[in-house]
Amino acid sequence: MKFSKFFVFLLVLLVIAGVIYYFTTPTSGEIKLTGIVTGNEVIASPQVTGRLMKLNVDEGSVVTKGELIGELDPAELEAARNAAADNTRTLEARLNQSENTRTLDDSQTAAALRQAEANVTVARSQLVQAQATLSLDEITYKRDEGLFQKGDMAAQDRDNAYSAYQVAQANVKALEDQVHVAEAQVAVAQANRKQVSVQESDMAATRAEIAQASAQRDQAQTQLSYTKVFAPLDGIVSVRVARQGEVVQAGAPIVTILDVDHLWVQADVEETYIDQITYGQKFTVQMPSGDRVEGTVYFKGVENDFATQRDVSRTKRDIKTFEIKVSIPNPDRKFFAGMTAFVLLPAPPGEHSRFHF
């Protein structure tokens, strides 16, 4: 019985040793680099704050770019958009009425100003004629008064000349008053014309309010479109952060999507071998299951990483490494980020590889 247990224990040790040897000791002529499979992870999040009304995916769901994965409650933003739209229509109606009023006032005040200016012209013309008549009547009266004083003219004729002179004076005075009235009417008409400018200023302010209300409406409409969250790329949902019914903040993650179609293996290479690796170079990549695929180098670090082997004896320098990234195909989507992978480098001639990462 004890011998059987010992035999089983020894067999288990041999199996473990064999597995360790398999994964740490490369075949002849190869250097085995231990790396990790990595892929792009994208967080899907809303651009506005709201209650998550619908969540159409779960962890493990396969999504395609542009697919609707979640939707926020749009009621609040719809109300804001409708209020802004109503405000815009109200302001547009007020502007239309103001434009009609301004057009009418502009026509009326312009006509009134032209009429007042014409009245001033007529009154001044009549005043000039009356002043000329007054001057002539004054000369006639003074002449007749002289003749009367000499006894060469009858008193009645002198009185008639004096009456005509007084009438001319009264007429000039009346026309002067009429000119003043006409000039006052011009001033009133000009003041009324200024009201048109005030109306135009009010209309400009209304147009600015319309532009602001329209901008608010458009902003609400744009934000309303943000209530729908779409998948940013093809992939698989790796993490579900939010749950349906929760209130999520703008920019807060809802789910994380992993791009499993574009994976790469990230590994460290000793500086001894880094200069042998070139962009576009093909390497065999071995997965933990034993599957092998061909990968392509698309990144080679330009700065060294931390030393992987420290020289505690101080008799030689530390071994430093450089990072490389090798893209691998994944048509069947059987490889995932986080898996261990081994990049097999051809060993330099005459060297049996020994790599420990």
Structural fold of domain 76-225: Helix Hairpins (1.10.287)
pLDDT value of position 314: 45
- Paired tokens of 153: 């003219």
Parallel/antiparallel/unpaired status of strands 30-44 and 340-346: antiparallel
Residue 353: the pLDDT is 44
Query: Collapsing DSSP states into helix, strand and coil, what is residue 278?
Result: coil
Query: Token pair for residue 72?
Result: 């926020």
pLDDT, tens digit, 9 for 90 and up, residues 242-276: 999 999 999 999 999 999 999 999 999 988 888 88
Fold equal for 26-73+233-346 and 76-225: no
| Structure-model confidence comparison of residues 190 and 221, the more confident one | 221
Lowest-pLDDT range of 1-15, 237-251, 283-297, 320-334: 1-15
| Architecture category of domain 26-73+233-346 in CATH | Beta Barrel (2.40)
Mean pLDDT of 21-43: 76
Cα–Cα distance between 315 and 295 in angstroms, integer? 38
Distance CA 49, CA 247 (A): 7
**Model pTM greater than 0.75?**
no
**Given a cut of 70, is residue 7 above it in pLDDT?**
no
Q: What is the mean pLDDT of the chain?
A: 84
- Provide mean pLDDT across the span 156-185: 88
With a pLDDT cut of 70, the percent of the chain lying above it is 85
Judge whether residue 291 has pLDDT over 60. yes
3-class SS shares of the chain: helix, strand, coil, % to 5: 50, 25, 25
Mean pLDDT value across residues 22-43: 76
pLDDT for the residue numbered 294: 94
* Two tokens, residue 113: 């100003």
pLDDT recorded at residue 153: 84
Domain boundaries, the chain: 26-73+233-346, 76-225
